[in-house]
Structures are given as C-alpha cells and as structure tokens.
Amino acid sequence: MAKVESFELDHTKVKAPYVRLIKVEKGPSGDEISNFDLRLVQPNQNAIPTAGLHTIEHLLAGLLRDRMDGVIDCSPFGCRTGFHLITWGTPSTTEVAKALKSSLEQIANDIKWEDVPGTTIESCGNYKDHSLFSAKEWSKLIVSQGISDDPFVRN
Amino acid sequence: MAKVESFELDHTKVKAPYVRLIKVEKGPSGDEISNFDLRLVQPNQNAIPTAGLHTIEHLLAGLLRDRMDGVIDCSPFGCRTGFHLITWGTPSTTEVAKALKSSLEQIANDIKWEDVPGTTIESCGNYKDHSLFSAKEWSKLIVSQGISDDPFVRN
Ligand SMILES: N[C@@H](CCSC[C@H]1O[C@@H](O)[C@H](O)[C@@H]1O)C(=O)O
Ligand SMILES: N[C@@H](CCSC[C@H]1O[C@@H](O)[C@H](O)[C@@H]1O)C(=O)O
C-alpha cells in the first residue's frame, strides 16, 4: 500500500495546538501547493466531538478564506484532533497560525447561529449534527492555549 | 464570510453513492487541480460513525494512491457522509468512481487489521477510535449499492 506521510509523524512528540507544514508539492507546470496539519487538540488525549467539529469545519471554510488567499480545502482529520489545510503557494506556518487564531477568536466571540453556513437539509449532508455551543467552547480553549507555528515547541 | 461551493449543492436532490466534480482550479503557472465529492451515504439519512470513518480514511489514503496518480489529499467531510478527494490534473468522475469502488472492495474483502496504517499511539492522532469491522460493513453496503459517476443518477 502507498506510504502516507502523516502516519510517519510521531504523535507522542508534538505539542498541540500547532500548525505544521506536511509538505509542498509541485505540479508539472511549476505551481506549488502546500499541505498543513492544523492540530487543535493533543493527539490521543482529546478529540473534538462530531457536532462541534462539523460546525468548526463549516465556519473555517469561510473564515480562513476571508484571511488567506489561495485556500483550496480545509477538512477535518478522521481522528478529530484537527484539520488539513491545502493552499496554493507557500504561506509560512506563522501566517497560517495567525489566520487560524483569528478565525477561532471570531468563532468564540462573534459568530451567531445565523452566521453558520450550511445548516439546513438542503445545504448540509448531516444538518442535525451541528453545535455552535461546542464549536465556541473548543475554540475558546484552543485560543487560550496559544497556537504555535512549530509542532515541537509550546507557544 | 467567503462563499463555499459545497453549501450551494442541494443535498436533497443527490443520489448517493456517487462521485461529483466540485471544481477544477488553475494555478498561476497553469497547473490544474480537481476537487471531488465522494459521497458514500445518502445525505441526512445516514452518517458513518467515527471509528469506521477513521479506518476508511487511513485505508483510502493508501488504496486510492495505489490506483490513481496525483492524489493530493483525501479527507472526510465533517458531516460523515463521504470524503473530499483533491488531485493534480483532471481525472474523470468515471475514473475516480472506478478507483473508489475497487478500493472499497479491497477493504470489504481483503484488508486485515495488520494492513491498516496508523493504528498506534505514535502513528495516529486518536488510535483508540478505529473499527475495521465497521469499515468493512460500510464498504460492503456502499459497493452493493453501486457508485455512480453522476450525483443525480442512480447507478
Ligand atoms: N472542506 C470544504 C468545506 C466543507 S465541504 C463539506 C461539507 O459540505 C456538505 O456537503 C457537508 O455538510 C460537509 O460537511 C472547504 O474547505 O471548502
Ligand atoms: N488525508 C490524508 C491521510 C490521513 S492524515 C490524517 C490522519 O493522520 C493522523 O494524524 C490522524 O490519525 C489523522 O486521522 C491523505 O490523504 O494523505
């Protein structure tokens, strides 16, 4: 089976919350894309429950694009400890950490239910599995811990 | 807040399982990447529980790369009804549906626990939340329903 980089990371050595560059890939014409590990909670110690994670997903999709150019996709890890972020170009982990922190602050402090995109039976694949309360409480906790731009150094 | 295409899809109109092209994006130097919606279960009628979804994620990461060139990332939807697949170039939905079907067949029929990558405290962010039993049963069900290359047409 093809080897995947993410399973080579020693998850016992990292200190979440952090932003890590997984890799930069170059296309045949020379365009670059970056793949980041946005690790919100400490591996194997915690995991964000599905409803809160789902609401954070819908909000980050809009809020990160408001703050960064070239966002291709931001999707949760199956392990529910964070998200992949894929972008055009090569933003630094410092830039990404700043955009992530500010997005989570907006979730914690400003977002109201009416602001959450994709919460109806038409616009969502599982509209009954959302929790803005959970999204806000997790965002508050993550921001209070500081988001490092180095996976091995606590902020 | 920035608009996101996925929330514009009318989820009551699609017929899962299917593969849908969300969009093709072009980089400044002309490279193209494709973003697919791999919808495994019918929106708002079912959702894959976290342990099975997590094991399917780890397996698809390897199995799809064995079958397709240019895979950038395959990550679950927060709604747990399917996955994003992001690739270099512009494979057809027919090609992707074929690779997905064959990967799910391999999960259903051949994969053993020792084959699943990322199931230790070092290699996974939440190693206690895996179920190969669940991954196999969901894969069987999805394959038995047929995977369409058109979201609005049942296979
Ligand atoms: N990762 C995307 C945003 C979510 S799309 C997936 C969601 O749309 C809907 O199909 C489902 O509710 C699912 O949760 C992005 O960054 O554009
Ligand atoms: N989407 C990737 C494969 C999974 S990476 C994310 C996983 O690695 C580990 O960090 C966690 O267990 C998480 O579930 C890919 O397609 O390469």
**Mind listing the pLDDT tens digit of every residue in chain A (155 residues)?**
999 988 999 999 999 999 999 999 999 999 999 999 999 999 999 999 999 999 999 999 999 999 999 999 999 999 999 999 999 999 999 999 999 999 999 999 999 999 999 999 999 999 999 999 999 999 999 999 999 999 999 87
CA distances from B2 to A65, A71, A102 (A): 6, 11, 15
Report CA(B38)–ligand 1 centroid distance (Å): 11
pTM above 0.85, yes or no: yes
Would you kindly state where each structural domain of chain A is located, as residue ranges? 13-152
* Res B155 pLDDT > 80: no
Tell me which chain A residue has its CA closest to the CA of residue B34. Answer: A72
Q: A13-152 adopts what CATH topology?
A: Gyrase A; domain 2 (3.30.1360)
Which ligand is closest in space to the CA of residue B58? 2
Tell which residue, A42, A52, A49, A44, has the closest CA to residue A18: A42
| CA atoms of A41 and A20, how far apart (whole Å) | 13
* Res B63 pLDDT > 90: yes
Shortest distance, CA B145 to any CA of chain A (angstroms): 18
Q: Which residue has the CA at smallest separation from atom 6 of ligand 2?
A: A77
Q: A12, A124, A128, A138: which to substitute to probe chain B, counting the most B Cβ within 10 Å?
A: A124
Residue contact B123–A7, C-beta within 8 A = yes
Grade residue B154 by pLDDT with cuts at 50, 70 and 90.
confident
Please say whether the beta carbons of B20 and B36 come within 8 A.
Answer: yes
